[in-house]
Amino acid sequence: AQSVTQLDSQVPVFEEAPVELRCNYSSSVSVYLFWYVQYPNQGLQLLLKYLSGSTLVKGINGFEAEFNKSQTSFHLRKPSVHISDTAEYFCAVSGPRTGNQFYFGTGTSLTVIP
């Protein structure tokens, strides 16, 4: 089965500093990759997705992620974070071989410090 590993459960970062949230998945074969954000007491919102094509994907709110097939990674980055970016971030994978399932990571809690 497919699996997703988010290497950091908590990431504190100062406002206006860059941030990288790490995500690795278990299979390099035909995967679709997603990052979601969950603000307190809300549902998950899609930040960005990789289905095919360019390995650098740009999403909403200034976030971007890079698909690295050789390292089976899909790390999320933002060059300058804001207080409003404080939230839980989830990496997810699906694909033709996941049996129609989405596999979510355990989440990374990003805290932006003023």
Residues engaged in binding another protein (CB under 8 A): 32, 34, 36, 42-46, 49, 90, 94-96, 98-104, 106-107
Q: Which is nearer to another protein, 25 or 36 (CB)?
A: 36
Least distance to another protein, CB of residue 100, Å: 4
Contact in structure between 66 and 54 (CB atoms under 8 Å): no
CA distances from 77 to 2, 7, 45 (A): 23, 14, 17
Q: Which is nearer to another protein, 106 or 111 (CB)?
A: 106
List the structure tokens of 73. Answer: 């990674």
Q: Which is nearer to another protein, 15 or 88 (CB)?
A: 88
